[in-house]
Structure 1
Amino acid sequence: MNKSKVEQWFQQKNAEVEKAHIDEKIPVIITANYVLLGQLTALRFLEWVCEHPGGVVALPTGRTPEFFIKWTQYYLENWKREAQKGLIAEMGLGSFKTPEIQSLTFFQLDEFFPVDPNHERSFSYFVNKFYIDGFGFDRKKVHLLNTSAIGDNGETDLCALFADGDIDLSLRTRQVKTGLELKKKRAIQYVDHMCASYEADIRTAGGIGFFLGGIGPDGHIAFNIKGSRHDSLTRLDHINYETQAAAASDLGGIENVKRKAVVTMGLQTIATNPECSAIIIAAGASKANIVADAIMQEVSPEFPATSLQKLPGARFYITKSAASTIIEKRQADQKAGSFAPQTEAQAEKVLRGIALPVGKTILHTAPHHDDIELAYFPAIHHLVRNEKNINHFVYCTSGFTAVTNIYLLSVLGATLAFLDSGEISIQELINPNKSLGNAHDITGYLNGIAQLNKEAQLFNVACRMTRCAAKHLETNNTEKVAGFFRLLTDILLQLEPGNHEPEDIHLAKGWIREFEAELAWAHFGLSNAFVHHLRLKFYTGDIFPEYPNYEADVLPVLKLLKETNPDIVTLAIDPEGSGPDTHYKSLMAISAAIDDYVKQSGRADIRIWGYRNVWSRFSLNEVNTI
């Protein structure tokens, strides 16, 4: 491996990369966490730019490059200072002048089809915001993929033409049957021609000199999904379910992603330049097996990233958890350790897990409304059924991103129908002499489940929505509440899924998610007094949300700690910030609150239960309780 100065420096900081496994066909650099992964990637990119002014680059979009972008912006703004006495100088790059980003030629990797380039979740929008405006790329040297219109003047609106979601690529070769199919066939032919021209432009420029990308749940690179040919070029294509699911949150739900195809650079496009520095970044245990396959398997369409094995400049930059499968293979290869069960030690962990606490106040915290269930739900059955324990369930966020526009529209429609028919009376809902409050909705919904009565379930969801809206609007006027719901309905009908949503839409989605959480614990006999919704402010719909703020995010947790005085606090431990970044940011807020609580209360006996679930898992040797 011919290492750059940046790579040498990071490798020296991590002894685990000293000895590669014999089956590793692409060099790997491992970092301790997600933030350092971004720093390594940013510095390597800027090092390459210094060495290749006027070069050709392709950079990723989406959530993966968050810290690559932040670190790159930092070093571009502070290059002179860092080159004199900072990390850049320490790495031996101090002789370089500030990288000339404006000298580079940029090619967009991929894009959904069709999508308006002004859509806030389109990759073209991302490139404009973070790379052109953020890094300073010369707009004239940036090649973007326009999948929204035919012709320079937009003679044909592709979003309107394919509004039915029927993107039948067999129209390339088969006979058309209707006038609409003829229009779609011509549009597909136009996009195919556009892809061929895009491919030619890349090759005329000399091929991609620096490629940076993530790796998808099926191993996809750009939108080259599992099974893609390694000689594939820039093209219009469909994607598989795994890739659709990964993109669902960006486009307002998987039902919207299923109505899209994609335009993507091909695997051969990426690797055309034999001197290309091709870097794949990955974080989190959920990527461990995919990364190992890409690095250790023989070249195969089954593993798209194996197409990079032929490039001497190919690298995988990954976090320690994303490297877990590789590290296990290395240790086995070096015979440096054994993963054979240590019966006695594991037995102690199991016994500790069986001996659950009694007579304790337990504060169960969760970033999202399903994290506790996914992590330690079997233990919950025992903890909540012990009458000597007091259990509180705390949700850091409202979870609005989990509720699609389509589902919210259906709930709003049903709620309006019940209000208009008079079946729901706000006066009765908020009258303390006639209503049990939120508990009434919960009991009614659970009874509806027991009776297999869908209408009863929907009625009680509508009651909860009405109750929440009346409280939010500070009114008992039915028409005002109904008008609020009609306004939300109108907004949703005009809103392109994935675009920025008004705060009231987030609020209404949160009401639905919070009601769902309360139903789960009501089933165990817990009242709403033991379920807490914090709605911390760091949780937004932005692609790169802000980090927790002390007043808005830490103090609400601290207040709850003082009110409940817990003996045990459970929290999702995801120190890398991989998976949903809400886990990492919730951890930051809760940790800061616990520190302040311990200082102010003088308590030193609080126990912390750290859990993980589907995004990142502990190995047996990492845990002390099973």
Structure 2
Amino acid sequence: MGNSDHFTPVEKSFLNDSLRNNKVNVPYIVVDNFPNLGMLTAFRFLEWVSKNPKGVISLPTGKTPEYFIFWTKHILENWDKENIIELRKKHHLVFNEKPSLADLHFVQIDEFYPIDSSQVNSFYHYVNKYYIEGLGLKPENALLINCKEIPLASGKSIQEIFPDNKVNLELRYREAQNPLEELQQESIFLIDNWCSEYEQKIRKLGGIGFFLGGIGPDGHIAFNIKGSDPYSTTRLTSTNFETQAVAAGDLGGIEISRERLVITIGLETITYNKNAVAIIFAAGEAKAPMVKDALELPPSNLYPASVLTHLPNGRFYLTSGAASLLKDSVDEYYHSGDWSQEKTDKAIMSLTEKLNKYAEHITLDDLRADQYTRLIPDLNENTVQSVIDSIKNKIQKGTARLGNEIFYHTGPHHDDISLGLLPYIHYQSRDETNISHYSVLTSGFTAVTNKFLIKILNDTLSFIKKGDIEMLQYPDFFEIGYKNKKDKDVYHYLINIASGNADEKSRAVSHRMVRNIVELWSLKTQQELEEKISEIINVINSSYDGQNPAPKIQTLKGMIREYEEELVWAHFGVRTKNVHHLRLGFYTGAIFTEKPNRERDVIPILQQLRDINPTVISLAFDPEGSGPDTHYKVLQAIAEAVREWGKEKDLSQLKIWGYRNVWYQFHAADVTHIFPVSLNAMNTMDESFTNSYLSQVEASFPSYRYNGKFSSLSIQTWVEQLQAVQLVLGKPYFYDNESPRLRATHGLLFFKEMNVEEFLRSARELEKSTEGVL
């Protein structure tokens, strides 16, 4: 964390004094969760502004600044209200006058290239909406990256020079082969010159005084990817896969972000002003490895954020999860609070990995020599066995058969439940006394690309014109018939997976699309249907990639995802009536999804709890925002619904299962249940994913960890979890076990069972930090 004397009054008010003072490259502060991270950053920003009212600021784009923007506006707009006065006193933001942002100079950090600055998914648009207009900055004091204003050869437009939006930087180094390449080569050098001028303008201002940025999956800050020169300046450059995967959500798919270049300020741009306050903020366990590398390893161009080492006022602001791998945090975990079996499990599992040694070979001397295992109370020859027994007990819990249960499996997005729990769900579904319901809480329309939608619409139109959608001829179809036989659409598709008839599978999808379009637009004739499909195709074709579509087209995209979800569970005999689509209203596709509220987002979940009366609820357990922001917002809404339901009935026997999937993972010590996954179960999950989630098979929005399908990444995660547990139990425990199920184990699935009180306690801090928005 660093010497507290180096921190400002605001920063000291957020310090956790119990953290130890191990050496790190850059001082850091840890808060509990994502919203509080935004609060800390906003208070520090306003503290700096009060002393530098005409200073130069550079603020980030994307989803990470959500609560920074919220808290900055909220504090300024309610400066003299009693609750904000108290909050300001608590965090030492006490001035006679409210800080004014009007005379600040703003520097845009980065931008995709090429991109039309008028597009809502451009960073130019973001900066103007949320910073220039949102915070009341003066446009004339802003240095912005407007791609349309960057001069190109012969005064031509971006589309004339780069008609396919591809910029080939090889033209910097080789001869042009044709007239178009000559124009492109000249244009690239003009862009390079513009970048140099942009850099000089920043330096004429004295450099950046207050820099705030996130940290990417490869450790990048701004678009300075892993390997960037610490002396780099503003430039046009390419990116790597990790960065492209993150940008895919902004640009409409990785097939687009893979082709786009970026203009970014350099690492030296950030550190040019040696008095600059430069802050990197990060939330969630997914960022923990990048944070550890930047803070604890020797500064290197492999860890771009380590460049903050050069700034006395450089800082990292982190959530507990993002800081979880730092030595301070690990020390804090083991030295504070009561000792538990969980701590013993984690300490010894970590030791087996450090020594690359099976637990049965760990000696008492090994335990006494390690800084954490030596802390285990009553350390003795049976200590390692207690960990072995603990892990075995979790496997026994995981393989125990359940009966007469009503499962309410929930997912923030489509495919979350499948990726997180499918092998275990399949295992328990074999007992016919169990009843399962699957509820996806958001429409998930952003995961459907325009290209995918257009293909389905064209196929549908073709089938209609050939007379292959026979239900259109039913006399009552446009009145009531379109609502019926949705299970038939699902069966039609799955039976043709079995027969391998691709054309009939496509026709099954078209059947469902016809029903959806008739329902959404209240159509009455086949002619209206054909005209509407053609109209939607024209609208989509005239849209830019990544554009948020009109509300009904959003819904239509979401209905594709809903059909996909029904296909998955139909693999296991689940009828469509047991697959629920809540489409909670906070999910809008905007850069910042709204905060959940009671009437719109909580009541629908509460009503399902009343109707279904589950004995088990499963949910994506992400109280800190490690994955997409939808995850923790859905968690808030479920927690509030459960809290309300608890006022109506006794929930003492209700079990809550927290699962994780491709975005973040549990440690074996943190879970209650471990379920063995066989090759057959892996294949079942992968097959159902590939056959059902049609919009996801090409992985337009992949994880930065893997360039491929999410199902493959889930399998990879299960295999890695088995490898960690094998160091404790030994490989013979599995391949030589009396149980055929354990002998067939080639991966492990983890989840955590909680009672209602435990679950609500984990969600309560997040709720408090958002000021009771529910």
CA contact (8 A) 2:25 2:299 kept: no
Size of the aligned set, in residue pairs, is: 622
- Corresponding residue number in structure 2 for 1:48: 48
- Corresponding residue number in structure 2 for 1:607: 655
Q: What is the SS of the residue equivalent to 1:280?
A: strand
CA contact (8 A) 1:117 1:148 kept: yes
How far is 1:604 from its partner?
A: 3.9
User: Residues 61-80 of structure 1: matches in 2 within 5 Å?
Assistant: 61-80=61-80
- Corresponding residue number in structure 2 for 1:281: 281
Change in CA separation of 1:571 and 1:315 when aligned onto 2, cut-off 3 Å? same
Change in CA separation of 1:74 and 1:391 when aligned onto 2, cut-off 3 Å? same
- Corresponding residue number in structure 1 for 2:468: 423
CA contact (8 A) 1:75 1:82 kept: no
C-alpha distance in 1, partners of 2:539/2:407? 41
CA contact (8 A) 1:26 1:315 kept: yes
Q: What is the SS of the residue equivalent to 2:653?
A: coil
- Corresponding residue number in structure 1 for 2:711: none
What one-letter code is carried by the residue in structure 2 that aligns with 1:624?
T
CA contact (8 A) 2:78 2:84 kept: no
C-alpha distance in 2, partners of 1:592/1:93? 32
Alignment of 1:162 with 2:162, yes or no, is yes
- Corresponding residue number in structure 2 for 1:349: 394
CA contact (8 A) 1:488 1:504 kept: no
CA contact (8 A) 1:227 1:301 kept: yes
Q: Deviations over 1:65-106 (max 9, x none)?
A: 000000011112233447994222333331352222122111
Alignment of 1:412 with 2:457, yes or no, is yes
Alignment of 1:541 with 2:589, yes or no, is yes
CA contact (8 A) 2:283 2:319 kept: yes
CA contact (8 A) 1:547 1:585 kept: yes
CA contact (8 A) 2:482 2:518 kept: no
1:509 to 551, 554, 557: 557
User: Residues 475-624 of structure 1: matches in 2 within 5 Å?
Assistant: 475=523, 477-624=525-672
CA contact (8 A) 1:117 1:146 kept: yes
- Corresponding residue number in structure 2 for 1:340: 348
User: Residues 263-412 of structure 1: matches in 2 within 5 Å?
Assistant: 263-327=263-327, 330-331=330-331, 339-341=347-349, 342-412=387-457
C-alpha distance in 2, partners of 1:503/1:81? 37
State the TM-score, normalized to the length of structure 2.
Answer: 0.77
Q: Work out the percentage of aligned pairs sharing the same amino acid.
A: 42
Q: What is the SS of the residue equivalent to 2:63?
A: coil
CA contact (8 A) 1:426 1:476 kept: no
2:489 to 422, 441, 456: 441
C-alpha distance in 2, partners of 1:151/1:168? 17
C-alpha distance in 2, partners of 1:205/1:5? 27
Alignment of 1:140 with 2:185, yes or no, is no
CA contact (8 A) 1:236 1:262 kept: yes
- Corresponding residue number in structure 2 for 1:60: 60
How far is 1:188 from its partner?
A: 1.2
Q: Deviations over 1:510-566 (max 9, x none)?
A: 121111111111111111121111111111111112112322222222222222111
How far is 1:400 from its partner?
A: 0.5
Change in CA separation of 1:527 and 1:334 when aligned onto 2, cut-off 3 Å? closer
Q: What is the SS of the residue equivalent to 1:372?
A: helix
- Corresponding residue number in structure 1 for 2:215: 215
CA contact (8 A) 1:445 1:460 kept: yes
Change in CA separation of 1:421 and 1:106 when aligned onto 2, cut-off 3 Å? same
C-alpha distance in 2, partners of 1:486/1:330? 59
Q: Deviations over 1:312-354 (max 9, x none)?
A: 1111101011111115774299877761142333333332222
How far is 1:426 from its partner?
A: 3.5
Alignment of 1:259 with 2:259, yes or no, is yes
What one-letter code is carried by the residue in structure 1 that aligns with 2:112?
F
How far is 1:123 from its partner?
A: 0.8
User: Residues 220-231 of structure 1: matches in 2 within 5 Å?
Assistant: 220-231=220-231
Change in CA separation of 1:346 and 1:333 when aligned onto 2, cut-off 3 Å? closer
CA contact (8 A) 1:149 1:158 kept: no
C-alpha distance in 2, partners of 1:83/1:101? 22
- Corresponding residue number in structure 1 for 2:241: 241
C-alpha distance in 1, partners of 2:335/2:412? 39
Give unmatched runs, 5+ long, in structure 2.
337-342, 350-386, 675-774
C-alpha distance in 2, partners of 1:302/1:454? 46
What one-letter code is carried by the residue in structure 1 that aligns with 2:203?
R
C-alpha distance in 2, partners of 1:268/1:106? 17
What one-letter code is carried by the residue in structure 2 that aligns with 1:224?
N
Change in CA separation of 1:352 and 1:276 when aligned onto 2, cut-off 3 Å? same
C-alpha distance in 2, partners of 1:80/1:208? 30
What one-letter code is carried by the residue in structure 2 that aligns with 1:470?
V
Q: Deviations over 1:417-469 (max 9, x none)?
A: 11111111343577699997122222222222223332222111111101222
CA contact (8 A) 1:217 1:242 kept: yes
CA contact (8 A) 2:153 2:190 kept: no
How far is 1:173 from its partner?
A: 2.9
Change in CA separation of 1:121 and 1:378 when aligned onto 2, cut-off 3 Å? same
Change in CA separation of 1:546 and 1:436 when aligned onto 2, cut-off 3 Å? closer
CA contact (8 A) 2:210 2:278 kept: yes
Q: Deviations over 1:44-80 (max 9, x none)?
A: 1111111222111111011110000000111122334
C-alpha distance in 1, partners of 2:150/2:216? 30
- Corresponding residue number in structure 2 for 1:471: 519
State the TM-score, normalized to the length of structure 1.
Answer: 0.94
Change in CA separation of 1:306 and 1:603 when aligned onto 2, cut-off 3 Å? closer
Alignment of 1:108 with 2:108, yes or no, is yes
Q: What is the SS of the residue equivalent to 2:325?
A: helix
2:8 to 4, 8, 18: 4
Change in CA separation of 1:54 and 1:541 when aligned onto 2, cut-off 3 Å? same
Q: What is the SS of the residue equivalent to 1:148?
A: helix
Alignment of 1:206 with 2:214, yes or no, is no
What one-letter code is carried by the residue in structure 2 that aligns with 1:127?
V
What one-letter code is carried by the residue in structure 2 that aligns with 1:365?
T
How far is 1:602 from its partner?
A: 4.7
CA contact (8 A) 1:284 1:319 kept: yes
C-alpha distance in 1, partners of 2:84/2:589? 39
C-alpha distance in 2, partners of 1:177/1:152? 19
C-alpha distance in 2, partners of 1:334/1:356? 35
C-alpha distance in 2, partners of 1:183/1:494? 27
Change in CA separation of 1:394 and 1:303 when aligned onto 2, cut-off 3 Å? same
Q: Deviations over 1:582-616 (max 9, x none)?
A: 11121222222222223234554322212222323
Alignment of 1:21 with 2:22, yes or no, is yes
How far is 1:109 from its partner?
A: 0.3
Q: What is the SS of the residue equivalent to 2:410?
A: strand
What one-letter code is carried by the residue in structure 1 that aligns with 2:613?
N
Change in CA separation of 1:46 and 1:153 when aligned onto 2, cut-off 3 Å? farther
C-alpha distance in 2, partners of 1:162/1:274? 39
Change in CA separation of 1:458 and 1:335 when aligned onto 2, cut-off 3 Å? same
Q: What is the SS of the residue equivalent to 2:624?
A: coil
What one-letter code is carried by the residue in structure 2 that aligns with 1:526?
V
